[in-house]
Chains A and B, each alone.
Chain A
Amino acid sequence: MDSDDSMPPRERTGPLRKVDPDRWVDEHGDYLYRYALVRVRTPEVAQDLVQDTFLGAIRGLDKFAGRSSERSWLFSILKNKIIDHYRALGREITFTDLEFCKGEYAEKFVPEGDWVHVDGPKKWKPEVEEVVHRNEFWQTMRGCLAGLPQRVAEVFMLREMEEVSSKEICSKLSITERNLWVMLHRARMTLRECLEMNWFTDKPGKK
């Protein structure tokens, strides 16, 4: 994943590396923890995921050939742990998840299906390349994600943050492709509304 490249690279210490759990925890623990915190909603679960990641790393140390930096290797393990965690929750898709945003913002369209002109999507400024440097944007984004039901947020994050293919999400979380598409469509629609309302609309007090 791109993001890992931005992290300071770790030198590898040779093919027969000595495991140094203390250093791992000190150097990478907080990064992994924050990454997990964005994806699961409780600190305890995030902590467990980080711990499982380190355990998995120790057990799989032989497979780490040093092709990537130590940290991005740990991140890739964590990603899989997160997917496993989502799956292990073993929840069926609940009524709430499928009912979520059922109206699909019908009020934004006239009965014929065209946008209500005064209420259609606005122009979004500034461009995404600029907006990523603004912490307030990420706070808004986090707030909007938190507004989604957990399961819907999970599939959205797997698809859009982790870039897991929709086929893979379906098989890993055992949901049908149709249900996945419905959930993604509504998640995107809701996030779009939320971002437009809270970030892209000029409000007094917002810079």
Chain B
Amino acid sequence: MPAPPIPNLPNPRADHDDSFFQGKNWLSASINRLIDAITPKCRENTRILSQGMDAPLPLLIRLRLRMHFLMCCYCKRYAAQLRYIRKASRAFPQYCGNVVTATLPDAVKERMKTLLRREAGER
């Protein structure tokens, strides 16, 4: 017999949920429904958030995302992680020397020097 599908709702709390509504159930139930109705779905948000890394988003979209983050720690994390990846990527060239330890082979260095000397001489 196939296993029954796991129901996604009601919303189980994520570990270390630090969203605003954590613990405020009476408030969150009604507002969650409202926010859910007027903000894009999580899946769509991942696209919007990626676009937001490359071009400024319209104000209305940004407001909606903000509201969505109030009730969804996952999208909030996703947004933070895109920034995390960007920061890490920008730091990569600075630190990659520790990981990439290759050096130019001596023969290549000699070849370059010869070529460059000739080029410099012609200048």
Contacts and interface: CB of A to CB of B under 8 A. Distances in A.
Interface of A: 1-3, 6, 19, 21-22, 24-26, 29-31, 33-35, 37-38, 43, 47, 50-51, 54-55, 58-59, 61, 104, 106, 109-110, 112-118, 120-124, 128, 131-133, 135, 137-139, 141-142, 156-157, 159-161, 163, 166, 180-181, 184-185, 188-189, 191-192, 195-196
Contact of A138 (B43, B82, B87, B92): B92
A25 B99 contact: no
B46 A54 contact: no
Contact of B100 (A6, A29, A34, A188): A34
B91 A121 contact: no
Tell me whether chain A's interface is mostly helix, strand or loop, or mixed: helix
Interface string B90-123: 1111111111111110001100110111011001
B115 A55 contact: yes
8 contacts: A2-B90, A22-B117, A43-B102, A50-B112, A128-B88, A141-B88, A159-B54, A192-B81
B25 interface: no
Contacts of A6: 94
Interface in B54-100: 54-55, 72-75, 77-78, 80-82, 84-100
A110 B93 contact: no
Given A113-B44, A114-B43, A196-B81, 19 more contacts: A6-B94, A22-B117, A29-B112, A34-B101, A34-B102, A55-B119, A109-B42, A110-B8, A112-B41, A113-B43, A114-B41, A117-B74, A121-B74, A123-B15, A139-B99, A161-B89, A161-B92, A166-B54, A188-B50
Interface residues of B, number: 58
Residue of B41, B72, B97, B103 with highest tally of chain A CB at under 10 A: B97
B24 interface: no
Nearest to B84: A128
Contacts of A181: 50-51, 54
A21 B113 contact: yes
Given A120-B77, A192-B85, A22 B113 contact: yes
Nearest to B54: A166
B109 A29 contact: yes
